Structure formats: C-alpha cells, structure tokens
Amino acid sequence: SAVISQKPSRDICQRGTSLTIQCQVDSQVTMMFWYRQQPGQSLTLIATANQGSEATYESGFVIDKFPISRPNLTFSTLTVSNMSPEDSSIYLCSVEVITSGRVNEQFFGPGTRLTVL
C-alpha cells in the first residue's frame, strides 16, 4: 500500500491568484496522477506527473493552467494558475502501486478542497 499526504487540505483563494498543492508519498512510486473532482461530479484525470520529464495532460487540461512538477519518486506538486471560481474543486493526488496480478492498485490522497472567490 501507500500512504499519501497532501498540503494544504483546503484553501480559499481570490480570483486571479495561484495555488500550489503538494503531494508526498511514503514510498517510491513510478506512476503519480492528479485528478480533479468538481462539486457533484466524478473524478477526472488532469495529468500524469512524470519524474524527470514533462507531465502528460489529458485533453482539456494545459500546462499553463496546471503546471506540475515531479522532482523525485515520492513527491509532486500541482499548481492551479490564474484561478477563477470554476476551479473550485477537490484536487486529488493518486499513485499506482505494484500488486499481484496484471493491474496495479491506485491509492488516493485525502484531497485538497479549493474554493475560489
């Protein structure tokens, strides 16, 4: 398994500002993902954080808006830039851990609840 922590757990921000969310894992992992959960919605993948290279973004998400860093195998950051109220969501970090079988398990952090005024 993996224990994941995120900072901050919640924040209230003003329109036009940026917030950086940190994700720390207690073990080295290869795959690390960032998801967004908008109010009343499901989880949507933003990007995969790649160690040593640029993140891989899903359609609809761009690096200028959601820059991601992955300096090592246990840590990543997601920045939400130039925020608007539409960015109010829960942002979750997830890691994939090798288990028995062909499909590995994904573990999730507690999330960062962001409110943009």
Partner 1 sequence: AQSVTQPDIHITVSEGASLELRCNYSYGATPYLFWYVQSPGQGLQLLLKYFSGDTLVQGIKGFEAEFKRSQSSFNLRKPSVHWSDAAEYFCAVYGGSQGNLIFGKGTKLSVKP
**Interacting residues with partner 1 (CB under 8 A):** 4, 31, 33, 35, 41-45, 47-48, 56, 58, 92, 94, 96, 101-103, 105-111, 113
50/14 Cα distance (integer angstroms):
29
Distance of closest approach, residue 110 Cβ to partner 1, in angstroms? 4
91/87 Cα distance (integer angstroms):
10
- Select 18 or 41, whichever has its Cβ closest to partner 1: 41
**At a CB cut-off of 8 Å and minimum separation 6, what does 102 contact?**
none
- Select 43 or 73, whichever has its Cβ closest to partner 1: 43
